[in-house]
Structure 1
């Protein structure tokens, strides 16, 4: 294998459908007699064998303009893509909603404001914005103050019906992991609450807040109690409208912090908004959740960035909440109101088949967090080389630089779950030929054997992931030499 380092940066052309009848076995390129550079490249099957991953490996590399398959291994075997699924979600959302789409969040007054007092309810109307944070709620409160509001005579309501609501993305994940939050029509701070602790004598001082760089508003919608035990590290229970957490004292040390998932994002948002209103001189009662926003007059408004920027950040940082919101928003915009994330993902699978000809894709969510999602390398490359797909996706993908015998800039989406690793995207061969590729590695049986407690840091998982990623980069180095 090549020795090299991996660098990261960011940026970067076009394509057409293919991969219809890809063979199940490996296809090998035909070399010209004088093609010594290509002949010197290590064979793909040898690289796969040397990686020693167990399970299955599937890959396809194709001409990004014509879709012609150049090389493959197990191309039609459905495998879990992990976060590579987000590339399909980005395409689904961009082509449904448009690159200029912006998510809007509003404050609506249901009555008149007289001498600073609102004779009616103040309603936070969510639009699903996955980038809304405590700063955005403070800006809304500031606009309300500028409109003359000083007191809310009625209720503080949070309307979250713009999207269906789900208390978590994947029920197979541990309760406390911050990458598996609730999803709904109002989302703040990626639906995570910041838990901090510091030893104070024989006890601990703990905080639960919705912090950003500008603000650290304490919240009442999530609580933490230090319990005198060693394990489990965390427990979770919903107590009325409150996310009630406990943490094991013996696991805390002197101080620390982590993000925990929020299970009721509407009340979390209302909790923070109430603090921000108070900071701007506006008094109100505790927030209440409603699905449908009552009619009223808009007194404040904030909006997220253009969808192409939001999608680019999702592909770069692989945020699961953003992926689920984009997928759900596209599904709702197409006239459906799915009862589950799986149902929304099924509609995305059907769209992908109709849009690109992909035949075996079966998505169970929009983020890839659910390990039951399946797509073949051939179908993934079919999506990447569909008409117009590269123009939309390639400039938005994260840039990885393989720093080996030569530097190879790669625009791609990575994906990682326990004993699952995927990589798919674009790069140019040495002669300038644009290529599209997908490589999926998965030891499904080893993954299925993990207990819930083992899923956050499974034994051997880090080394397996390192070898899988090394194989993926070794294959790209081979293809860059061979398919000029």
Structure 2
């Protein structure tokens, strides 16, 4: 953290001295954007914009494009493109598994341990862990007389706690990245109203013991149903709901981080192995993997597929695990991975006038300029990896973080813009590619940073509409 603070001081000192590019004359913001900003009580100075044809030429709009902004989750664009270039779109995480001792083919009894070593695969979720258990069964394994051992030594301990960023440790996106992160150490709870009994049943998506079977039903509109449940979440204690569930909500689900993360891997591995029909005489514990060759390797989906999940759903933990996977040394540290990403980005931009704290954008310190992100997006468009990169971005009105609102919200931009979104308490952002009415494609970057940034979504939507119209809508 001291190194980051020092780097930040250097960044701010340099930011006002040297520019590697001469900023174009500031064009006025489109009228619809100005009106939306004023309605949201946001100053024009809170917004930075870069709109440029993907094939180059002068920008159609450059507004405060040389001003540093917090990129929020637009940071995932940097991490994702770096990973595609350095690892390749077909690259996979290969998780090694050992069956130590002797496996008796007739009985399926293993006289030793089952060992799983994490390598940073961010897709070891419920469904894929089920596949791993089936692979073990296909080897003939039925009974483990020893232990199930899990090794997470490939990554150094994460320097931040889940509550450090926003004080909400129950959010799965705040989980710490680990070399062996199973199901993001979370569970999805589904609430099923039962009007006859006057309660809502709580059903988890994992074969773990239920923490609470039901909550009372409440009358009235659905509204803030999560607030009405009055979640009681404290690390190390069982999760509880002290409120009631509105019957008008129907059946809804709530993904929550497990309040006992230290024991989560052990509890889940044991439960999944038993669910698969296996038996275990020993315990499930952390440990180190053996030095000999693995008995099997469990491959993740290809990087291009993982990146779609990261960008479309803005998966913070997966983005940090991807960044750590780029580090060359083991155990991988956040500092080493961040430095490698910083060098890569500096090489792309030909400058170091930026500040990176992590790979997900879950940061208060990171700073990038709209024109820097615009240049990076143009680099990506000209790259052989462009199809995989663009396909990873949410499609306006159709999927990912841009699904909400559909055609009613996005109008002419519906289905015609691939854009990464970014959102923090004081940041709202969009960046990606727009297919305009003329048939031309543009790089669009919009960064809004202000305590009221959340009220500025309409301004970003108006900017997107203006870009789809090739910037021909009225300006003041």
Q: TM-score range by the shorter chain?
A: 0.7 to 0.9
Give 1:169 shift. 5.8
Local SS of the residue matching 2:341:
helix
Give 1:426 shift. 1.4
Instruction: Kindly provide the CA deviation profile for residues 247-303 of structure 1, in whole angstroms up to 9, marking residues without a partner as x.
Output: 35135567965221247768433422222322333222331123x422356444432
Q: 1:61 — aligned with what? A: 51
CA 1:146–1:408: 2 relative to 1, 3 Å: closer
Aligned equivalents of 1:370, 1:87: Cα separation in 2: 15
Local SS of the residue matching 1:250:
coil
Aligned equivalents of 1:261, 1:288: Cα separation in 2: 21
Q: 1:287 — aligned with what? A: 284
CA 1:429–1:257: 2 relative to 1, 3 Å: closer
Structure 2's unaligned 5+ residue stretches are 1-18, 216-226, 398-406
Equivalent of residue 190 in structure 1, options 184, 189, 195 = 184
Q: 1:153 — aligned with what? A: 145
**Does the CA-based 8 Å contact 2:239-2:259 persist in structure 1?**
no
**Does the CA-based 8 Å contact 1:182-1:261 persist in structure 2?**
no
Equivalent of residue 105 in structure 1, options 88, 95, 108 = 95
Equivalent of residue 415 in structure 1, options 422, 428, 438 = 422
Equivalent of residue 467 in structure 1, options 428, 438, 458 = 458
**Does the CA-based 8 Å contact 1:134-1:272 persist in structure 2?**
no
**Does the CA-based 8 Å contact 1:195-1:206 persist in structure 2?**
yes
Aligned equivalents of 1:57, 1:269: Cα separation in 2: 43
Are residues 1:249 and 2:245 paired? no
**Does the CA-based 8 Å contact 2:238-2:260 persist in structure 1?**
no
| Structure 1 or 2: more strand by fraction | 1
Local SS of the residue matching 2:208:
coil
**Does the CA-based 8 Å contact 2:51-2:62 persist in structure 1?**
yes
**Does the CA-based 8 Å contact 1:80-1:442 persist in structure 2?**
yes
**Does the CA-based 8 Å contact 1:103-1:129 persist in structure 2?**
yes
Give 1:125 shift. 2.0
Q: 2:349 — aligned with what? A: 356
Equivalent of residue 179 in structure 1, options 169, 173, 176 = 173
Q: 1:120 — aligned with what? A: 112
Aligned equivalents of 1:44, 1:252: Cα separation in 2: 40
Instruction: Kindly provide the CA deviation profile for residues 299-354 of structure 1, in whole angstroms up to 9, marking residues without a partner as x.
Output: 44432211112112222121112211111112x2x4475544x6633432332111
Give 1:394 shift. 2.3
Give 1:438 shift. 0.7
Are residues 1:74 and 2:64 paired? yes
Aligned equivalents of 1:358, 1:423: Cα separation in 2: 23
CA 1:205–1:226: 2 relative to 1, 3 Å: closer
Q: 2:14 — aligned with what? A: none
**Does the CA-based 8 Å contact 1:48-1:471 persist in structure 2?**
no
Aligned equivalents of 2:465, 2:303: Cα separation in 1: 33
Aligned equivalents of 1:145, 1:338: Cα separation in 2: 32
Aligned equivalents of 2:277, 2:295: Cα separation in 1: 16
Are residues 1:305 and 2:293 paired? no
Aligned equivalents of 2:313, 2:193: Cα separation in 1: 33
CA 1:71–1:480: 2 relative to 1, 3 Å: closer
CA 1:371–1:76: 2 relative to 1, 3 Å: same
CA 1:28–1:257: 2 relative to 1, 3 Å: closer
Q: 2:373 — aligned with what? A: 380
Q: 2:21 — aligned with what? A: 21
Local SS of the residue matching 2:67:
coil
**Does the CA-based 8 Å contact 1:196-1:257 persist in structure 2?**
yes
Q: 2:268 — aligned with what? A: 272
Aligned equivalents of 1:316, 1:85: Cα separation in 2: 13
CA 1:82–1:67: 2 relative to 1, 3 Å: farther
Aligned equivalents of 2:117, 2:259: Cα separation in 1: 18
Deviates more, 1:93-102 or 1:195-204: 195-204
Equivalent of residue 425 in structure 1, options 429, 432, 438 = 432
Q: 1:456 — aligned with what? A: none
CA 1:372–1:264: 2 relative to 1, 3 Å: farther
Aligned equivalents of 1:279, 1:404: Cα separation in 2: 48
Structure 1's unaligned 5+ residue stretches are 1-18, 30-40, 448-460
Q: TM-score, normalised by structure 1?
A: 0.74
**Does the CA-based 8 Å contact 1:169-1:183 persist in structure 2?**
no
Give 1:76 shift. 1.3
Aligned equivalents of 1:303, 1:265: Cα separation in 2: 25
Aligned equivalents of 2:101, 2:164: Cα separation in 1: 42
**Does the CA-based 8 Å contact 1:170-1:369 persist in structure 2?**
no
**Does the CA-based 8 Å contact 2:26-2:62 persist in structure 1?**
yes
| Structure 1 or 2: more helix by fraction | 2
Map 1:225-236 → 2, pairs under 5 A = 233-236=230-233
Local SS of the residue matching 2:172:
coil
Q: 1:320 — aligned with what? A: 316
Local SS of the residue matching 1:398:
coil
